[in-house]
Amino acid sequence: MRHFLAGILVCLLLPFAAQAEDDAIKRVITEQLEAFMADDFETAFTYASPGIKRLFGSPQRFENMVRESYPMVHRPAEVTLLDQRTQAGRVEQRVMIRDQVGRLHMLSYQMIETADGWQINGVSVLRAPEVGV
Protein backbone atom coordinates (compact mmCIF):
# COMPACT_ATOMS: atom_id res chain seq x y z
CA MET A 1 0.00 0.00 0.00
CA ARG A 2 2.84 2.39 0.87
CA HIS A 3 4.46 1.86 -2.58
CA PHE A 4 1.11 2.47 -4.25
CA LEU A 5 0.66 5.78 -2.41
CA ALA A 6 4.25 6.80 -3.13
CA GLY A 7 3.67 6.07 -6.83
CA ILE A 8 0.53 8.21 -6.84
CA LEU A 9 2.38 11.02 -5.09
CA VAL A 10 5.20 10.92 -7.66
CA CYS A 11 2.67 11.01 -10.51
CA LEU A 12 0.96 14.01 -8.95
CA LEU A 13 4.16 15.96 -8.25
CA LEU A 14 6.06 15.17 -11.46
CA PRO A 15 4.28 17.81 -13.58
CA PHE A 16 5.08 20.47 -10.96
CA ALA A 17 8.75 19.48 -10.89
CA ALA A 18 8.92 19.56 -14.70
CA GLN A 19 7.28 23.01 -14.75
CA ALA A 20 9.74 24.30 -12.14
CA GLU A 21 12.63 23.02 -14.30
CA ASP A 22 11.15 24.67 -17.41
CA ASP A 23 10.73 27.95 -15.53
CA ALA A 24 14.30 27.86 -14.15
CA ILE A 25 15.75 27.27 -17.61
CA LYS A 26 13.67 30.05 -19.16
CA ARG A 27 14.71 32.40 -16.34
CA VAL A 28 18.42 31.73 -16.97
CA ILE A 29 18.09 32.44 -20.69
CA THR A 30 15.98 35.55 -20.13
CA GLU A 31 18.36 36.95 -17.53
CA GLN A 32 21.39 36.36 -19.76
CA LEU A 33 19.63 38.15 -22.64
CA GLU A 34 18.82 41.06 -20.31
CA ALA A 35 22.49 41.24 -19.30
CA PHE A 36 23.53 41.30 -22.98
CA MET A 37 21.11 44.14 -23.69
CA ALA A 38 22.61 46.09 -20.78
CA ASP A 39 26.15 45.37 -22.08
CA ASP A 40 26.78 43.60 -18.76
CA PHE A 41 28.94 40.80 -20.11
CA GLU A 42 30.33 39.94 -16.68
CA THR A 43 26.84 39.01 -15.49
CA ALA A 44 26.01 37.32 -18.82
CA PHE A 45 29.14 35.18 -18.43
CA THR A 46 27.88 33.86 -15.06
CA TYR A 47 25.04 32.05 -16.88
CA ALA A 48 27.52 30.08 -18.99
CA SER A 49 28.41 26.52 -18.06
CA PRO A 50 31.84 25.67 -16.62
CA GLY A 51 32.91 24.33 -20.03
CA ILE A 52 32.00 27.57 -21.79
CA LYS A 53 33.78 29.57 -19.09
CA ARG A 54 36.93 27.46 -19.57
CA LEU A 55 36.69 27.81 -23.36
CA PHE A 56 36.54 31.62 -23.32
CA GLY A 57 38.38 32.28 -20.06
CA SER A 58 37.07 35.80 -19.47
CA PRO A 59 33.92 37.88 -19.88
CA GLN A 60 35.78 40.04 -22.42
CA ARG A 61 36.58 37.12 -24.74
CA PHE A 62 33.01 35.88 -24.29
CA GLU A 63 31.75 39.36 -25.24
CA ASN A 64 33.84 39.37 -28.42
CA MET A 65 32.39 36.00 -29.46
CA VAL A 66 28.80 37.09 -28.78
CA ARG A 67 29.14 40.39 -30.63
CA GLU A 68 30.79 38.75 -33.65
CA SER A 69 28.89 35.45 -33.90
CA TYR A 70 25.52 36.14 -32.26
CA PRO A 71 24.57 39.79 -32.86
CA MET A 72 20.88 38.85 -32.74
CA VAL A 73 21.38 37.68 -29.15
CA HIS A 74 23.32 40.79 -28.15
CA ARG A 75 20.57 43.16 -29.23
CA PRO A 76 17.30 41.31 -29.86
CA ALA A 77 14.25 43.31 -30.79
CA GLU A 78 11.92 40.50 -29.70
CA VAL A 79 12.41 37.17 -27.91
CA THR A 80 9.98 34.25 -27.82
CA LEU A 81 10.75 31.19 -25.73
CA LEU A 82 9.38 28.17 -27.54
CA ASP A 83 9.38 24.47 -26.72
CA GLN A 84 11.79 22.64 -24.49
CA ARG A 85 13.05 19.15 -25.29
CA THR A 86 15.16 16.49 -23.71
CA GLN A 87 17.10 14.43 -26.25
CA ALA A 88 19.81 11.93 -25.44
CA GLY A 89 19.93 13.28 -21.90
CA ARG A 90 20.41 16.87 -23.08
CA VAL A 91 17.91 19.62 -22.37
CA GLU A 92 17.37 22.05 -25.22
CA GLN A 93 15.29 25.22 -25.13
CA ARG A 94 14.27 26.65 -28.49
CA VAL A 95 14.20 30.41 -28.76
CA MET A 96 12.97 32.62 -31.59
CA ILE A 97 14.65 36.00 -31.82
CA ARG A 98 13.75 38.89 -34.09
CA ASP A 99 16.81 41.06 -34.66
CA GLN A 100 16.93 44.84 -34.96
CA VAL A 101 16.29 44.75 -38.73
CA GLY A 102 13.32 42.39 -38.44
CA ARG A 103 14.89 39.04 -39.39
CA LEU A 104 13.83 35.96 -37.44
CA HIS A 105 16.42 33.60 -35.99
CA MET A 106 15.73 30.19 -34.44
CA LEU A 107 18.19 29.13 -31.78
CA SER A 108 18.63 26.08 -29.62
CA TYR A 109 20.05 26.64 -26.15
CA GLN A 110 21.73 23.55 -24.70
CA MET A 111 21.29 23.57 -20.95
CA ILE A 112 23.02 21.64 -18.19
CA GLU A 113 22.27 21.45 -14.50
CA THR A 114 25.27 22.23 -12.32
CA ALA A 115 25.83 22.76 -8.59
CA ASP A 116 25.03 26.44 -9.31
CA GLY A 117 21.74 25.59 -11.03
CA TRP A 118 20.90 25.55 -14.74
CA GLN A 119 23.53 27.02 -17.04
CA ILE A 120 23.88 27.55 -20.78
CA ASN A 121 26.23 25.02 -22.35
CA GLY A 122 26.01 26.31 -25.90
CA VAL A 123 23.76 27.97 -28.44
CA SER A 124 23.16 26.75 -31.98
CA VAL A 125 21.55 28.74 -34.75
CA LEU A 126 18.99 26.46 -36.40
CA ARG A 127 18.39 26.49 -40.12
CA ALA A 128 15.07 27.95 -41.06
CA PRO A 129 12.83 25.53 -42.91
CA GLU A 130 12.75 26.21 -46.61
CA VAL A 131 9.47 27.64 -47.72
CA GLY A 132 8.36 27.69 -51.31
CA VAL A 133 5.31 28.19 -53.43
Within a domain: 132: no
Model pLDDT for residues 43-56, shown as the tens digit of each residue: 999 999 999 999 99
CA angle 13, 28, 81 (to 5 degrees): 80
Give the pLDDT mean for 84-95: 90
108: left (phi over 0), alpha (psi -120 to 50) or beta: beta
- pLDDT for the residue 16: 46
Within a domain: 133: no
The residues near 126 (Cβ < 8 Å, ≥ 6 apart) are 94, 106, 107, 108
Predicted confidence band of residue 67 (pLDDT cuts 50, 70, 90) = very high
Between the CA atoms of 111, 114, 117 and 121, what dihedral angle is there, to the nearest 10 degrees?
A: -30
Q: Find the domain containing 37 and state its range.
A: 2-126
Within a domain: 27: yes
Within a domain: 69: yes
Structurally, the chain folds into a number of domains equal to 1
Within a domain: 99: yes
pTM (2 decimals)? 0.80
Residue, of 62 and 10, whose pLDDT is higher: 62
Give the pLDDT mean for 125-132: 71
